[in-house]
Amino acid sequence: MALRFLVVEGNNATGRGNRQRAYGMTPAQSYAAVLGALEPDAVCDIAHVADEGFNRPDHAELEGYDGVVLTGSALHVYHGGAEIDQQIDLMKAVYRSRTPAFGSCWGLQIGAAAAGGTVVKNPVMREIGFARSIQVNGHGASHPLLAGRPAVFDAPAVHLDIVGALPADCTVLASNDLTPVQAAEIRHDGGVFWGVQYHPEFSLAELASILGNLGTIMHEEGFFRTEEEHARYVADLYALHEDRGRMDLAWRFGLDRQVLDTDTRLTEIRNFINLRVKPAKSARGRA
């Protein structure tokens, strides 16, 4: 029986439109494509939770899904408002439904906020391009979410905010110098959520399209000295996406197979499907 996923889009209409124009797909559409590549028979419904008048699925509808996946977003939890509250309320309902859930970046932040944690602006700096030297701790080394990852690895990343105060029942699985919570399991109200602050779903092309729209911010924050440097960086990312054999570019970016190899990059999403979604589906008698 095909797996049924609810892909929760973290952006409002403006954010979706920006990504659609830059990359040809919204974050939810892109995430659904990744799930479809891993599970060709998967059925993915997309929920635009930040939109005015969003009609939240009821308990039975959420139970009907085999997995819920939360995308990234350009929003900030601490800004509040209906477009934030609706996402937190949905995640609380997902916990109560006990449907397996996974989130990247904003998804982790919403998972934490819905369970009583906080989200804050990173006091160190923005983490953008790649999260470097993510270190798997003792909990993470034995956790199925990170099965197959080495003790230290890099991953695509674009975020200003981080999880601040942890939820009551949160196990941190990995960290690095910029972000104390790079991967975590959160248990709340009967449900279990797995999340990462980085973006295993991002190809180099999708990452390049995002960074291409952030030239002003990256210049102002000192990541590039000139517009030309920024343009060259983005162009080289696109080139490396097209030809993973460009060892000159791989060396320049400092990337190895943890990012360059698609199967390896998708480790956490594959683990979520194989080690969380499918066993839970079987336990629910839907295998």
pLDDT > 90? residue 99: yes
Cα Dmax for the chain? 58
Q: What is the mean pLDDT of residues 76-98?
A: 97
Question: β-strands 67-70, 43-48: how paired?
Answer: unpaired
Q: For residue 69, which amino acid is it?
A: V
| Confidence at residue 264, expressed as pLDDT on a 0 to 100 scale | 98
| % of the chain at pLDDT higher than 70 | 99
32, 3 contact by CB (below 8 A): no
| Confidence at residue 282, expressed as pLDDT on a 0 to 100 scale | 94
The pair of structure tokens assigned to 153 is 């690895």
Listed in sequence order, the residues at least 6 apart from 152 whose beta carbon sits closer than 8 Å to its beta carbon are: 133, 134, 135, 136
Which CATH superfamily hosts domain 4-201+266-283?
Class I glutamine amidotransferase (GATase) domain (3.40.50.880)
| Confidence at residue 285, expressed as pLDDT on a 0 to 100 scale | 82
Q: What is the mean pLDDT of residues 207-215?
A: 95
Helices (H) and strands (E) in the chain, counts: 14, 11
pLDDT band at 284, cuts 50/70/90? confident
Reading phi first (left if > 0) and then psi (alpha if -120 to 50, else beta), residue 53 is in left
Residues of the chain with CATH 3.40.50.880: 4-201+266-283
Average of per-residue pLDDT values in the chain: 97
The pair of structure tokens assigned to 172 is 């941190």
CA torsion sign, 275 to 277 to 282 to 287? negative
Q: What is the pTM of this model?
A: 0.96
Instruction: Specify the length of the chain in residues.
Output: 287
pLDDT > 70? residue 59: yes
pLDDT band at 1, cuts 50/70/90? confident
Q: What is the mean pLDDT of residues 28-50?
A: 97
pLDDT > 80? residue 55: yes
Q: How far apart are the first and last CA of the chain?
A: 7
| % of the chain at pLDDT higher than 90 | 98
The pair of structure tokens assigned to 42 is 């998967």
pLDDT band at 31, cuts 50/70/90? very high
Q: What is the mean pLDDT of residues 102-129?
A: 97
From CA 185, how far away is CA 95, in angstroms rounded? 12
| Confidence at residue 287, expressed as pLDDT on a 0 to 100 scale | 59
